[in-house]
Amino acid sequence: MKKRMSLLTILLFLLVIFLFLFFLQQGREELQKVSAISPVSETAEAPSLTKIVDGYVLDREQFQTASPGAVVLREKNQQAPSFPLSLKYTKYPIGYSYLLFEKGGISVFSERSEDALSYGTPERYQKLDYEETLIVKTGENSVEEWYRAVWEKDGELKRVYVKAALVTKRDFRFSEMEEVVNKAQRYFEDGELTYVENYREKNGKAPLYRGESQDKEGNKRAESIAAYPNLSNLSEFTYLPDGTLVRYLSEKGEYIHVEVVESEESFYVPNRYIPITKAVEALNRIIVIDRDNQNEAVYEKIDEKWTLVSYTLATTGKVGAYSAPTPMGFYYMMQKRSSFLYYKDGTKIFQGYAPYAIRFTGGAYIHGIPVDYAYTASGETIVPAKREYSQKIGTIPLSHKCVRNYTSHAKFLYDWALPGETIIIVI
């Protein structure tokens, strides 16, 4: 009996081994068949599910089946602030993104087609609140970009469409603005913040840079100071404009070692250009101006949190014989004036005044709408009342170097900005 059970066990064991080897061989044969039919290639790629048309990445199947005139892509290219929002100025509300009509005669339509009903033509320099971008199929391999916007016309809000190529989309770049606010906060926490001072070159004209009035980076000599990377080579320096925000590091003889907040570079500057080692007593207010988009945002520290208290349009400086672009950088608020006078180009004759002025570098101010003087028949000067509004605010650079605001917003800033607590950043 025991011998019979042992024999049965051996037979079952041999059967299991036979079945295992049989199925293993069958699997190898199937794998060889598959490999022979479709050999594996390391460079093989799956068919693309997308199609690139005029630079847009589109769903291939959707684009191929869409009829001409159909929307094949919708985008909402807009930034929202991540900082808390508590607006203290709301006179001219505008969206986070908007469309600028730099030319007149541009029609807007009820639908995304020039064959649709025309709602009219916004005025030159008018701004419409942006809603979204629509990519419309126009052919087998072509698309057209349209914007959808909101237009307030005759007291009524209308949703309108306009060809993107005909207008300029502008944005409040809140992420970039918040980034520079955070950078200023880090510098304030890390050490003493002060500024360089050479308004009207009262502390001495900076030397020429290799016989020229601008350095190798294009910075101008006027109302600037010479900043030396190394005191062993005084022939090599950079011009730093009046008002530039710096961190005080140390003193070395007749020089003060500073770090420029914008560039994060360190220099030695003659100590006569540093009025005080710690000018920023408490960093609580920051104005950020965006040259590219011609707008600005205003931040205040409320309950220890940076908070957006205003965002509005602005006009910066232009290139010209008697004007210059508003310089980029971090600046200290050096002066507030209820108004200042400006000259007629190329003369020392006063042409008019600008109200509610905040000076931050050289002769550059944030101010309200400028007002030219008028004259009587006998030549007597008439000082007109302040002007509140200009359609050109927030359109293209037009000023001599300053930053123009609506006059009511300039007044808001004038009352709000505090000495020793306020800086201006131009991006």
Backbone angles phi, psi at 118, to 5 degrees: -85, 130
Indicate if 335 and 355 belong to the same structural domain.
Answer: yes
- Do residues 293 and 225 both lie within one domain? no
Of 107, 136, 171, the one marking the end of a domain is 171
What is the number of structural domains in the chain?
A: 3
What pLDDT does residue 33 have?
41
Return the bridge partners of 252, or none: 255
Q: Whole-angstrom Cα distance, residue 427 to residue 84?
A: 21
- The tally of CA atoms less than 13 A away on the side-chain side of residue 365 is 24
Does one domain contain both 351 and 311?
Answer: yes
Q: Is 108 among the domain residues?
A: yes
Q: What is the domain range of residue 218?
A: 193-273
Considering the domain architecture, whether residues 58 and 142 belong to the same structural domain is answered as yes
Integer Cα distance of 93 and 77 in angstroms: 19
Averaged pLDDT for residues 39-49: 49
**Which of 2-6, 49-53, 269-273 reaches the highest mean pLDDT?**
269-273
* CATH code of the domain covering residue 115: 2.30.30
CATH number at residue 269: 2.30.30.40
Q: Tell me, what DSSP letter sits at residue 5?
A: H
pLDDT at residue 48, rounded to an integer: 64
Residue 353 host element (H or E): strand 350-361
Cβ neighbours of 350 (radius 10 Å): 12
Q: How confident is the model at residue 123 (pLDDT cuts 50, 70, 90)?
A: very high
As a whole number of angstroms, the longest Cα–Cα distance in the chain is 143
Q: Which residues contact 295 (CB under 8 A, 6 or more apart)?
A: 170, 172, 289, 311, 312, 313, 314, 394
In 3D space, the residue among 233, 241, 166, 161 whose CA is nearest the CA of residue 201 turns out to be 241
Helix (H) or strand (E) holding 6, with range, is: helix 2-37
First-to-last C-alpha distance (Å) of the chain: 98
Q: Which amino acid is at 74?
A: R
Please give the average per-residue pLDDT across 123-138, as a whole number. 97
pLDDT over threshold 50, residue 285: yes
- Helix H or strand E segment including 403: strand 403-404
pLDDT band at 38 (very low <50, low <70, confident <90, very high): very low
Give the closest residue to 111 by CA, choosing from 72, 146, 156, 76.
146
Reading the block at residue 311, the tokens are 């965002």
32 domain residue, yes or no: no
The predicted-structure confidence for 158-184, as pLDDT tens digits, reads as follows: 999 999 999 999 999 999 999 999 999
Q: Which residues pair with 80 in a beta bridge?
A: none
The answer to whether residues 349 and 340 touch, using CB atoms and an 8 Å cutoff, is no
Out of 273, 298, 314, a domain closes at 273
Residues 305 and 415 in one domain: yes
Residues 339 and 226 reside in one and the same domain: no
